Structure 1
């Protein structure tokens, strides 16, 4: 990352957002037509600021424009919360999605994803998390009599150095079943997909196998299996058993043969893992499934440190926009870490950014590049 810059830390952090793509999307969706005050560039900077500071309401966002530094960054001297609300409702989610996917492509490039894919099989983890909503304000997302919410179905690229990042997302009503999203989230035959038992679908497993997709998943304990072959295990293995099986009942049985492993998790509970990847050892498969912790950590981090605890908008489009904005902020932190080769965590990078937001960018860069960072 270039240290010789007159940009503020905030401008340097947001710099990966392509001005060209931003302008194209604004023009494509006619977002600045007839706009007198709240142009999209100002609105975007204001939303990024609000996410960084975990601002809990649009009224609080409106009040924050009192800051002279924020006025300069947004080219606004004031803005009402009602104007912010209208803008958030009106911007199509495709706008924020396009920016998110462009940042993902930059992360792919920074982590040399294409080269890694030729050398080894990249690992992609699929899971979902329900984001609760206020039932009175979000009736459109009702999934129980007393609850309302949306579900974020996410695909995470797993890197062993801790730099894991989301590269695809689908937002649905919370009542939508997980397994219906595999059709969208599984699209690369050169990757290995890891997902939990919520995605259990024997017919889909057969199609994935026939089409050349590889996966490791968890099987329910009461799943019906027919053992075809049992493999001997080395003495120092963490695997309890290794078998070749077909899964399902006579009426609903898989056509392909799968490998079934029984392992113990960190709490001593038995897990039944199923895979169609036969060239790896049982211990390697068990280790791959442990990588699922990365997506659990992502969801935990996202809910704790990105501003989706309280949603600004009541409309579905406004809520979806805020989720994508949260993932944009996460990707900007990932890129900051990669480009500075920082050993800082994303949380530390974000905290130092907030502390030096309007200072010269080199102050923030020097801090997160600290070679003695833990």
Structure 2
């Protein structure tokens, strides 16, 4: 059962080993509580606190001291304590009529791990359950600008959040440095999440980060995400395949111009073409496809800010798309769809916007 409590200003007493209780402590600190940590001394000294804001508390020396200790707080939390301590604290809380909770301990290991997490196209409703679990368990999150980031503080309270996002033509943190940071954080024993927009392995450079982690001996897993290559056209009512219209689709990066050979192959496939990051090279792409035989009237969709309440879909033809994009001031993030399936698109984005609002409301309820 999930119970939402306003813990701002409340006193919370946590029993548990500091490192194993680190996420629990961070979560209550992020909720605005005054947090105390009671833990067994090791070799006559109190273990180091994982957070400087946490206030240390000594174990009671007398039986009645347990009741007095829990009576001074509003909530008691047990994190992987011994059966004996569990029984003593439970009895004391029952006598003092103080709320008691048992929470899962964080993993403790000399070496941490990295999870590459796909965040989808940006709408929180498309973030998978596996992604939410990874964020919940994270000590450090390295995130991109296109991922769902507005509620990161809620999803992973107490985690260190580091923006390593790139914008077109500007990489504030080079890829090699991102890989170094992931490895360094894991070597410090942290559970690390690399949160990306879309899917980590669809033009997300996830493969490079997996190789870097494996090369350094860091355990790494990949949690797939909903790719904008399929979800954004869908939000505009465009299926990338459709019976008797298109039985093949190709996803390509428009980050750099395609060669003549690549352009000729695309035209020869006679299927749907989905272009990510393609606004900057759109004139070259349109001219190249036409030069290799694609008809001037082939429909093209430009979907900006896809799967958001700011979504704008513009439908035009291959012959006119470059001029139309320039006149509209089309900007990234945008997805281009080229092919006969574009004729199946919605005439406007009203239904898509309503879908986004509904998804956001459901996510808030969850």
Which structure: larger Rg? 2
- Do both proteins adopt the same fold according to a TM-score greater than 0.5, normalized to the shorter chain? no
The TM-score range, normalised by the shorter chain, is under 0.3
TM-score scaled by length of structure 1: 0.27
Q: Which has the higher contact order (CA 8 A, sep 6+)?
A: 1
TM-score scaled by length of structure 2: 0.28
